[in-house]
Chains A and B, each alone.
Chain A
Amino acid sequence: DAKTTQPTSMDCAEGRAANLPCNHSTISGNEYVYWYRQIHSQGPQYIIHGLKNNETNEMASLIITEDRKSSTLILPHATLRDTAVYYCIVRVAGAAGNKLTFGGGTRVLVKP
């Protein structure tokens, strides 16, 4: 699976949009981009995923560049409960080795 690079940490003001970047320059055509987050001591939580097109759900939006080498997770109106470690994960579709590998996430602190 392709390696990803994220900022180590990021602060965000409550009520503002949080834009979390992720670089995945070695991504392959059959690899999805996933975002998960982990609030302190809780199990990781799925946020969103995408292949080529931008995606939006009730939690966030995912913007993938045309060359697919980077993406941005957007939390439209950050709340204090969005304070968490956010993981960008790239994983091939339908892989027999179907684990998610967590590492190098962004620690987001939402401030009042």
Chain B
Amino acid sequence: AAGVIQSPRHLIKEKRETATLKCYPIPRHDTVYWYQQGPGQDPQFLISFYEKMQSDKGSIPDRFSAQQFSDYHSELNMSSLELGDSALYFCASSFGQEVLRAFFGQGTRLTVV
């Protein structure tokens, strides 16, 4: 069965550069979530989209933005990268609002040097 696809899997950027992470949800899933996980930390919710509209917002820095496109894929744009942005970034998708059974991708490991 198709899973959540994230690209790239690994990314190395320098400070002050920009990065774009992509997420392709499971077909027919209507909601996408983004999470950031620093070393030794729990996943922290950043932002979510339901039917291409922003649904909820967590601790996402102003330097980050995200959107969901007409084909339901989502992109997380990160500008003015800082060393502290180095983390695993997970995307997840789900279908429906009643029960939240989310499927997570394998993540993008971002390293800022």
- Could you list which residues of chain A lie within 8 angstroms of chain B, going by C-beta atoms? 32, 34, 38, 41-46, 49, 85, 87, 91, 93-105
Contact = CB atoms under 8 A, between A and B. Distances in A.
Contact of B103 (A46, A49, A103, A105): A46
Interface residue SS majority, chain A: loop
Interface residues of B, number: 27
Given A43-B105, A49-B99, A96 B42 contact: no
Contacts of B35: 102
Given A98-B97, A98-B100, A100-B33, A105 B55 contact: no
Contact of A49 (B55, B92, B101): B101
Interface of B: 4, 31, 33, 35, 42-45, 48, 50, 55-56, 58, 88, 90, 92, 97-107
Contacts of A32: 99-100
A54 B48 CA distance: 30
A44 B56 contact: no
Contacts of A85: 42
